[in-house]
Structure 1
Amino acid sequence: MPTNPHGGGMGHVPVAVYSSSPHPATIQESEACARRYADARLWPVAGAWSDPDPDVPLIDRIGWRGITDALGNGMVRGIIVADQGHVASDSAEFERLGALIRDRGGFLAVATASAPRRTPGQQARRRNVLEGASGWSEQDGARHDRPATDPDSL
């Protein structure tokens, strides 16, 4: 059974990838971005649909109709786009479309291509915590095992 995408976002939730552009290279890049986004969440991509003209109303696009058919028959639970501009002209329209899809039991997500945010020194702090938990010290490469009963070790 598919996992609820809002309950942590990880799980085997079949999704569709959608893009719309008159440029084949843009469609390929958008599909690759959306697939990476889905892969990172363990969402299998059931298919990729596209349309060559983003100026055509969404309801009249052949690729979009394929997506809604897949959503309606349970083949997919979600739709991933690389940019909201593939399905909406502005944020308000994108939110309305997302609400409509949620009402039908699915979800709409924008694949974010940005790298995860890191705070300064975050990697070094994580390494120190992991080393401390394992008992290893980076300074001398030796393992420091201390008896649990030694009060000086606490």
Structure 2
Amino acid sequence: MIYIENGSSTKESRLPFEIEEWVEMAIGMFVILLRLYARTRAVGFRKWQGDDYLSVVALVLWATEVFMFKFVFRFGANAGLSDEQRASMEEWEIHERQFGSKCLLVSWFAYVTLIWVLKACMLFFYKRLTYVNPFIYIKLLHRTESG
């Protein structure tokens, strides 16, 4: 389990993770947007299929996850705190951690939903790759029965 310190932790400890997170997001967004651009140029927007629409949903969920983690790093969360730490918190810190915990919960839901959306996206993509004219199946079946 990852324990996330409150916003009062040193910025240097969070910096490598934040850099990695934003670089990966930039590369991923570029690749997905390039794919959507190429798909739109090839077939047009009206002929998009399920995987194209789910790619847009994946972009939104991914951005939600990254921004929620930014809030969690800023405000902290209540995970991994001892009873002594909870008892010594001031009122403003409690409110910040409550908000950070809500953001952490949203990021967990966004992450799980993102995984399932990407799985569905792959299913639609494979369906499109393996789509064969149904009449070919009938011809193959006829040849198998007669031969």
TM-score, with length taken from structure 2: 0.27
| Greater helix proportion | 2
Structure scoring higher RCO (CA < 8 A, sep ≥ 6) equals 2
